[in-house]
A and B are shown apart, each in its own frame.
Chain A
Amino acid sequence: MRVWRLPADVDTDQLAPGHAMKYGIDVIARHCLEAVQPAFAREVQRGDVIVAGANFGIGSSREQAASVLVHLGVAAVIAPSHSGLYFRNAFNVGLLLLSCAKARCIGDGEALSFDARGGQITRADGSVLTTEPIPGFLLDMVDAGGLLPQLKKRLESR
């Protein structure tokens, strides 16, 4: 895995450009972040992590802006803060967001590991950053792959 560094204020229209919104997630994925980091959609690998500046995901309610990252295999987005609406959408589609005040110190291309329930990010040099606690029911939702698979399981077990 590697870290993709992105600036602050990455908006939903950069993640899921309006011109691609009428198509399916596979087409949107080809255009994901094209205006910010053109290599991203082409080169991102399953398990990679995005580390962004503050206010990640501001803008529209389009949840494709979150599901496109799930589609591309992104394991988590770490940022000092996220848009509240994006935060809800992300967990609903199975994308883990971690809020970390010190995300800024993580570099592009770095390797790291994280423990969402433990609230910790471990960097390559062994140093540890703490993340803000996330309610357990949201982490369960991400583990289930999002709200849809979770609801499905719940309805089947009735």
Chain B
Amino acid sequence: MTPSTLAQKLVARAAGRAQVTPGEIVNCRIDLAMFHDSSGPRRLQPMLAELGARIWDKRKVVLVIDHYVPEADDEARRIVRIARDWAAEQALPYVYDSLGICHVVVPQHGHLKPGMFVVGGDSHSPTGGAFGAYMFGIGATEMLGAVVSGEIWLKVPQTIFMRWTGRLADGVSAKDMMLAMLGRFGMNGGQYQAVEYCGEAVAALSMAERMTLANMSAELGAQVGLIAPDQTTRHWLEHIGVDVEELGLVRWHSDEGAPGMRHVFDASSLAPQVALPHSPAHVRPVDGIDPTPIDVAYIGACTGAKLDDLRAAARVLAGYHIAPGVQLLVAPASVRDREMAANEGILRLLLDAGATLLPSACGACAGYGSAIPERSTVISSTARNFRGRMGSDTAQVYLGSPYTVAASALRGRISDAREILA
């Protein structure tokens, strides 16, 4: 057999084929379909009723209620009620209600495993690639087709290998790696192909950090963002009670000589990166931007508020208090992340530093809950800073790592965490 990429192997398995070739169109069997209150029930229920069709296999469906909770108004209450009522009526076995954001909750509850083929009703679904699963986002109508048939068509992608050599400096993280790639390739640089992150700097990342990389493959315009599973993956999964066979780990990697485009980056020389308004691809190193006073520092979302992100912020802020006039908002990605942060004493450190704790939900990242004031300048650990995205058309939103967001809250202007950690 000719050498294959990890993406090709994952697609071939789902298509029931020995091998697939980039560019060919194949039909894949779905191992898991994930959707949330915004993209899921409120759209699926009427369409399923119109078709008189049913979900192909309820054990392969996960519903996460994370977008419109806590309910801010009557419309939100209506949307969430539809989700809850439909889940009860369908007797869905896997429903996670107000427990956090889908991309974090789903793996935390053991639904993802190397080798799986998964669709998600949300653009940040490539997060699952951190576990060696072929997971990508689709819209509500396509989700309808997926849950009725259990299958989906796919054009087998090319692979773009992003190899990171060396080691990240203290205070520099996966978010900075991703912003650097976005600055170089732009928001459609992934061309809806598969991106595979590899090299010693990627291998050294924790699972949470790998999830940040895979998550923002959406911003790169890739269909999936994959990381070959290894012992780090295995330990993380075993810790939450998911068995991973050694054989599985050996199988899910790109062969020597597999086809693809290859880019190489040096992690050791990487400085913290910041995306300027209003595009995640509008990137500069933190020391290359003009002095920028901020009003709000936001640590939230599936991208930037997992336990490791909270730890990073706490390392910067421990023993200090944020600058006067600055609001530091912290919305842990999941209730489990929040609880673990509380157990480690990190939450206390953040609150003592002046942080305001927000619910574990999509919240301000997607413009819910009016947390972001008009005409404010914001630095955020989230994935997207499109104009108006966070709920205010007049806000200027910068993106950075949790280190950078915390350092900026501390100094009242966009700052380099390395100066504080040194």
Interface residues of A (CB under 8 A from B): 9, 11, 13-14, 17-19, 21-23, 35, 54-55, 58-63, 66, 81, 83-85, 87-89, 92-93, 135, 137, 146-148, 151-152, 155
Check B320 for interface membership: any CB of A closer than 8 A. no
- Which A residues are CB-close (under 8 A) to B52? 155
User: CA–CA, A11 to B123, complex, Å?
Assistant: 13
- Which B residues are CB-close (under 8 A) to A84? 191-192, 221, 223
Decide: B142 and A89 in contact? CB cutoff 8 A. yes
**Contact flag A152-B187 (CB < 8 Å), given A22-B76, A89-B141, A92-B139:** no
User: CA–CA, A90 to B69, complex, Å?
Assistant: 28
Of B53, B188, B367, which one neighbours A18 at CB under 8 angstroms? B367
Number of interface residues of B (CB under 8 A): 46
Of B25, B53, B139, B389, which one neighbours A93 at CB under 8 angstroms? B139
**Contact flag A18-B279 (CB < 8 Å), given A9-B187, A55-B221:** no
Q: How far is the CB of B282 from chain A (nearest CB, A)?
A: 10
Interface string of B133-157 (1 = CB under 8 A from A): 0001111111011001000010000
**Contact flag A59-B386 (CB < 8 Å), given A22-B76, A35-B393, A84-B221:** yes
Q: How far is the CB of A40 from chain B (nearest CB, A)?
A: 16
**Contact flag A148-B75 (CB < 8 Å), given A135-B25, A155-B53:** no
User: CA–CA, A148 to B76, complex, Å?
Assistant: 26
Please provide the chain B residues from 11 to 51 with a CB less than 8 Å away from any CB of chain A in the complex. Answer: 25, 38-39, 47, 50-51
Q: How far is the CB of A150 from chain B (nearest CB, A)?
A: 9
- Which B residues are CB-close (under 8 A) to A135? 25
User: CA–CA, A92 to B125, complex, Å?
Assistant: 19
Decide: A22 and B75 in contact? CB cutoff 8 A. yes
User: CA–CA, A146 to B142, complex, Å?
Assistant: 10
13 chain-A/chain-B pairs, Cβ below 8 angstroms: A9-B187, A18-B366, A18-B388, A19-B367, A19-B388, A55-B188, A59-B384, A61-B122, A83-B221, A85-B218, A89-B142, A151-B144, A151-B145
